[in-house]
Amino acid sequence: MQYFRGFIPILIGVPRSPVPNTFGIGMRMNENTASTMIDINFINDTGAVAVRMRKILYLILVFLIIFGCRHKAPENEKQGVKAVSDEPAYGDALVAGSIGEPSILIPMLAGDSASHDVAGLIFNGLVKYDTDLSVIGDLAESWDISPDGLVITFHLRKGVRWFDGVEFTAEDIMFGYKTIINEKTPTAYQEDYLQVKKAEVPDPYTFRVTYRKPFAPALTSWGNLVVLPKHLLEGKDIAKTDFGRNPVGLGRYKLRTWTPGQDVILESNRDYFQGRPYIDRYIYKIIPDPATMFLELKAGGIDYMGLTPIQYTKQTDTRYFSGNFQKFRYPVFAYTYMGFNLRHPFFQDKRVRQAIAYAIDKKEIVDVVLFGLGKPATGPYVPDTWPYNPNVRTYGYDLEKAKALLKEAGWKDTDGDGLLDKDGSPFVFTILTNMGNSLRMNTATIIQWRLAKIGIKVDIRVLEWSTFINEFIDKRRFQAVILGWSIGLDPDQYDIWHSGKTKEKEFNFIGYKNPEVDALLEQGRRTFDTEERKKAYFKIQEILAEELPYIFLYVPDATPIVHARFRGIKPSPIGISYNLYRWYVPKALQRHAAMEP
């Protein structure tokens, strides 16, 4: 239910973040945040684990279903919010809840969804996706592409101004381009821009790029990553400037205040080139716990959040919620997976990874954890999209196959303690995931229970999001993780799977290396022919399904909820927040005082 993320993959920490977003992936915190952790270890003796875990899961489900249905509406609940006049009016504030806090508000330096959520309101790109999934202009009014596809000439809008009043020109794009390709810039998004042979500024409102070779994602790569004010940043180290916490953009909203651990408050840009947003303030409220966030929603403390499946199906099924809120459900370009650190000796044998896949019942996870609000995943693309290959190898729940594969790989219970071992090492590993995402924690618990049945002991460690990314993912300090990718429409996933993208802060953090996949990734991005690209991406999915560097778990549905006083929401294939600047609250329903001019 986030603003459509557009063109680049983003690591997501919260189920269906509700916050507007443009482009991004993985949390990058500047400060060394103190680690906040929860260690979960339900396995004390393997012999009792199945019974104990079955009881735990059963009790959790019974509690959620029985008590989740019994939420009472507040005494002061009022009906009829939806019946008030729909006349647009300026004013009010939209308070959105999020479990994660932004790390930095410079898009090219941010890798996490929280940062891109906020930065996407402050910065625009040259192009964006329309509601029919076609590419349309944003800061670029139009563009021309040469017959061979190697040259793109962008014609920029005139009269667009940065928040400080200076006019936006092609020199700003050139500055951003030179910054992102600079080897000293700590960005994970450099690769697309290294494909450019030459960049030119023929005049203040024209920006032209020439590519060395055909590059299929060329047009869509020109989002907001390279939109930077040259007059403020030229000659400065972008990674050390305070611009990341005090950005000057040209988008719908301006940063007003940022109180660490509490909220980020944005105010509308009254000079926005597409017209002043109706909503005066956008308040990004940081609430690490989804249950607490839901209580805030009921109490009127927030207006907008992503619901968990139990909240969507049970806890909001009341007169109060139907009369005072709008619920939405739609498929998204995202998936959740369990990734293995392929540098770890336990996971270097694909038979072990395949055995684990056979021991996991994905349908159980979709039914129990998602309450049916999603589908099992089979690869890095979502069903019903053109690059998705529906015929890859799948792993149905089969404990006997799992045990046989582990035996082939040399894992046996040699001492009769119920745990497999090899070369004197018991098969014990830890799954890391992030706080605030109950879906991932519950998924990890089910996987823990299932793997105990084949003699593998799993511990679960839950970490605060920024600590998880900065201290564990970026530094490769993990054995296995449960995470999620929010992906763009273009199927190019070079940054995730190519063997050259395994350095710190790059996205192939599991260390996957396959020369054939490298070649296919290159092949897929070097042609504009959709059918040829499809062949490459189909083959990549076949290889990934065989080698299983990830166990692709599920594709969840987005389940956002918005207070009913907000009007102008138009659901589309790219979500609901793409037109947030046109949302409004009728004057009679506004809760917050008008913003001072």
- CATH code of residue 220: 3.90.76.10
Q: Do 118 and 196 belong together in one domain?
A: no
Q: Do 361 and 312 belong together in one domain?
A: no
Residue 270 lies in a domain: yes
Q: Do 165 and 185 belong together in one domain?
A: yes
Residue 480 lies in a domain: yes
Q: What is the pLDDT of residues 566-594, one digit of tens each?
A: 999 999 888 899 999 999 999 999 998 77
The DSSP line for 440-471 is: HHHHHHHHHHHHHTTT-EEEEEEE-HHHIIII
Q: Decide: 491 and 382 in contact? Cβ < 8 Å.
A: no
Q: What does pLDDT average to over the chain?
A: 87
Residue 35 lies in a domain: no
In which residue are the tokens 């944003």 written? 138
Give the domain-ending residue among 244, 271, 293. Answer: 244
Mean pLDDT of 448-470: 94
pLDDT at residue 207, rounded to an integer: 98
Q: Do 363 and 495 belong together in one domain?
A: yes
* Cα-based torsion angle of the residue sequence 283, 286, 291, 292 in order, rounded to the nearest 10 degrees: -80
Residue 544 zone, left/alpha/beta (φ > 0; ψ -120 to 50; rest): alpha
Residue 48 lies in a domain: no
pLDDT band at 281 (very low <50, low <70, confident <90, very high): very high
Q: Do 537 and 500 belong together in one domain?
A: yes
pLDDT at residue 464, rounded to an integer: 86
The residues that bridge with 136 in the sheet, in sequence order, are 128
d(CA 181, CA 534): 29
pLDDT at residue 489, rounded to an integer: 85
Q: What is the pLDDT of residues 306-340, one digit of tens each?
A: 999 999 999 999 999 999 999 999 988 999 999 99
pLDDT band at 11 (very low <50, low <70, confident <90, very high): low
Q: Please state, in angstroms and as integers, the Cα–Cα distance from residue 500 to each residue in 446, 503, 506, 519, following that order.
A: 34, 8, 9, 12
Residue 228 lies in a domain: yes
Q: Do 537 and 571 belong together in one domain?
A: no
Mean pLDDT of 492-503: 94
Alpha helix ranges (H) inside 15-101: 46-68
The answer, yes or no, to whether residue 6 has pLDDT greater than 70, is: no
- CATH code of residue 527: 3.10.105.10
- CATH code of residue 95: 3.40.190.10
Q: Decide: 152 and 196 in contact? Cβ < 8 Å.
A: no
Give the domain-ending residue among 209, 226, 244. Answer: 244
Q: Do 128 and 116 belong together in one domain?
A: no
d(CA 227, CA 208): 15
Q: What is the pLDDT of residues 71-117, one digit of tens each?
A: 444 433 444 565 566 899 999 999 999 988 898 999 999 878 889 89
Range from 26-30, 425-429, 442-446, 529-533 carrying the lowest mean pLDDT: 26-30
pTM of the prediction? Answer: 0.83
Mean pLDDT of 361-369: 97
The answer for residues whose C-beta is within 8 angstroms of residue 432's C-beta and 6 or more apart is: 461, 462, 463, 468, 472, 478, 479, 480, 481, 482
Q: Do 280 and 364 belong together in one domain?
A: no
Mean pLDDT of 215-227: 94
pLDDT at residue 486, rounded to an integer: 86
Q: Decide: 46 and 452 in contact? Cβ < 8 Å.
A: yes
Percent over 70 (pLDDT), the chain: 85
Q: Do 337 and 257 belong together in one domain?
A: no
pLDDT band at 260 (very low <50, low <70, confident <90, very high): very high
- The pair of three-digit structure tokens given for residue 296, joined into one six-digit string: 């805030």
CB atoms within 10 A of CB 300: 13
Q: Is 142 exposed, middle or buried (0-12, 13-18, 19+ CB in 10 A)?
A: exposed
Q: At 330, which amino acid appears?
A: Y
Q: Decide: 481 and 489 in contact? Cβ < 8 Å.
A: no
| SS3 state of residue 560 | strand
Question: Which is more confidently placed, 131 or 544?
Answer: 544
Residue 32 lies in a domain: no
Domain count for the chain, please give it: 3
Range of the domain at 303: 1-7+14-23+82-122+252-329+559-597
pLDDT at residue 487, rounded to an integer: 86
pLDDT at residue 228, rounded to an integer: 97
Q: What is the pLDDT of residues 181-212, one digit of tens each?
A: 999 999 989 999 999 999 999 999 999 999 99
Residue 233 lies in a domain: yes
Give the domain-ending residue among 244, 269, 286. Answer: 244
Q: Do 183 and 298 belong together in one domain?
A: no
Residue 475 lies in a domain: yes
Burial 316-337 (b: 16+ CB within 10 A, else e): bebebbebbbbebebbbbbbbb
Question: Which is more confidently placed, 5 or 211?
Answer: 211
Q: Do 99 and 209 belong together in one domain?
A: no
Q: Do 354 and 425 belong together in one domain?
A: yes
- The pair of three-digit structure tokens given for residue 305, joined into one six-digit string: 């959040």
